[in-house]
């Protein structure tokens, strides 16, 4: 029995999230169907993050176990020939039997993108949340600072998640940057994220930015440990899973590339930056 790691990216617009669901198109289902055609056996691909409906990934990681001895290069070529154009596998490689894409993850980075302009955009609508009202970024940044560190993030968990001790997470970074006029990026890095957490963080910070929630209320929202205390949930289309990091024993394939900034997800939305002349 082999354990294989899969690195992939996808445009989540046409999918009901990562995880297999009855009668709904999902990324996991498309990937598993393609692997079945190549390997001749059914496998279950476990993803590092269970992205929601409409959410995208630049650096999703998965793993699966199989009996096939087919070459990883042949698997990569075969799978990509069967997948739709909005899902692309970037690498397939043998890994340790101990590797688990979700449980072994040590750090994840998500980015949430906002198009802050009264007018819409034909080019941004699939990947940005269009917020028409002007956002005040300084209050948003001060509010974000209150959320960095290890906290109980129950107030930022969507319904259906786990209560109590399971809602404590470490948020290493929560950064808000305006990269160009109207282009705002919220970056979040942490050791794990609750269901809907980044989207609720983004929605709450936007509510601060447009004056619906005073920045001084954010520590109280965190302390309340009650979803009703926080702001709105931002739409899925603005969210990207950028990358996932693992202990070095599982990263020997890409350590040098990551140091050069060339690892999976490192390019981010660089093609859009080039197209529109944005500064990173």
* Residue pointed to by tokens 């490192």: 266
State the pLDDT at residue 121.
Answer: 84
DSSP sequence for 164-197: GGGGEEEEEEEEEEEEETTEEEEEEEES---TTH
Question: How many Cβ atoms are within 10 Å of 52's Cβ, its own excluded?
Answer: 21
- Tens-digit pLDDT string for the chain (280 aa): 999 999 999 999 999 999 999 999 999 999 999 999 999 999 999 999 999 999 999 999 999 999 999 999 999 999 999 999 999 999 999 999 999 999 999 999 999 999 999 998 888 889 999 999 999 999 999 999 999 999 999 999 998 655 556 899 999 999 999 998 899 999 999 999 999 999 999 999 999 999 999 999 999 999 999 999 999 999 999 999 999 999 987 875 544 444 434 445 555 565 555 555 554 4
Helix residue ranges per DSSP H, 60-196: 72-82, 137-145
The question of whether 94 is a catalytic residue gets the answer no
State the pLDDT at residue 163.
Answer: 56
State the pLDDT at residue 145.
Answer: 97
State the pLDDT at residue 280.
Answer: 42
* Residue from 7, 52, 94, 274 carrying the catalytic annotation: 52
* Cα end-to-end distance, the chain, whole Å: 44
Helix residue ranges per DSSP H, the chain: 27-39, 72-82, 137-145, 197-209, 218-224, 255-259, 270-276
User: Measuring CA to CA, which residue among 51, 58, 57, 62 is closest to residue 26?
Assistant: 51
CA distances from 192 to 107, 173, 229, 241 (A): 7, 12, 22, 12
State the pLDDT at residue 144.
Answer: 98
State the pLDDT at residue 164.
Answer: 57
101: Cβ–Cβ under 8 A, 6 or more apart, which residues?
A: 5, 46, 47, 48, 61, 62, 63, 244
Cβ pair 48, 108 in contact under 8 A: yes
- Structure tokens given for 234: 């931002």
CA pair distance 246, 253, nearest whole angstrom: 11
Residue 235 DSSP label:
P
Q: Which domains occur in the chain, in start order?
A: 2-94 (3.30.70.580), 107-241 (3.30.70.660)
CA pair distance 193, 107, nearest whole angstrom: 10
State the pLDDT at residue 261.
Answer: 41
State the pLDDT at residue 16.
Answer: 96
State the pLDDT at residue 257.
Answer: 43
- By 3-state DSSP, what share of the chain in percent is helix, strand and coil, each rounded to 5? 30, 30, 40
State the pLDDT at residue 120.
Answer: 84
Characterize 177-198 residue by residue with b for buried, 16 or more Cβ atoms within 10 angstroms of its Cβ, and e for exposed.
eeeeebbbbbbbbbebbbebbb
Question: Which residues are registered as beta bridge partners of 92?
Answer: 6
Cβ pair 207, 232 in contact under 8 A: yes
User: Measuring CA to CA, which residue among 127, 98, 89, 87 is closest to residue 111?
Assistant: 127
200: Cβ–Cβ under 8 A, 6 or more apart, which residues?
A: 155, 156, 157, 158, 227, 230, 231, 232, 233, 234
């Amino acid at each position: 029995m082999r354990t294989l790691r899969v690195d992939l990216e996808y445009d989540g617009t046409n999918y009901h999230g990562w995880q297999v669901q009855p009668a709904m198109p999902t990324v996991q289902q498309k990937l598993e169907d393609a692997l079945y055609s190549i390997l001749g056996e059914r496998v279950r691909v476990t993803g590092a993050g269970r992205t929601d409906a409409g959410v995208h990934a630049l650096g999703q990681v998965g793993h699966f176990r199989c009996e096939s001895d087919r070459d990883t290069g042949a698997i990569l070529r075969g799978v990509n020939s069967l997948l739709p154009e909005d899902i692309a596998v970037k690498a397939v490689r043998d890994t340790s039997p101990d590797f688990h894409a979700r449980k072994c993850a040590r750090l994840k980075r998500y980015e949430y993108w906002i198009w802050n302009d009264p007018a819409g955009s034909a080019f941004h609508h699939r990947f940005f949340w269009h917020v028409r009202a002007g956002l005040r970024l300084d209050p948003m940044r001060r509010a974000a600072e209150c959320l960095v560190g290890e906290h109980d993030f129950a107030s930022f968990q969507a319904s259906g998640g786990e209560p109590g001790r399971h809602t404590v997470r470490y948020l290493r970074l929560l950064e808000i940057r305006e990269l160009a006029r109207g282009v705002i990026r919220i970056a979040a890095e942490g050791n794990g994220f609750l269901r809907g957490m980044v989207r609720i963080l983004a929605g709450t910070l936007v509510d601060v930015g447009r004056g619906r929630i005073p920045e001084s209320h954010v520590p109280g929202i965190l302390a309340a440990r009650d979803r009703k205390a926080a702001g709105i949930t931002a739409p899925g289309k603005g969210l990207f899973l950028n990358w996932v990091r693992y202990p070095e024993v599982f990263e020997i394939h890409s350590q040098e590339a990551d140091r050069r900034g060339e690892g999976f997800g490192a390019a981010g939305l660089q093609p859009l930056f080039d197209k529109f002349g944005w500064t990173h």
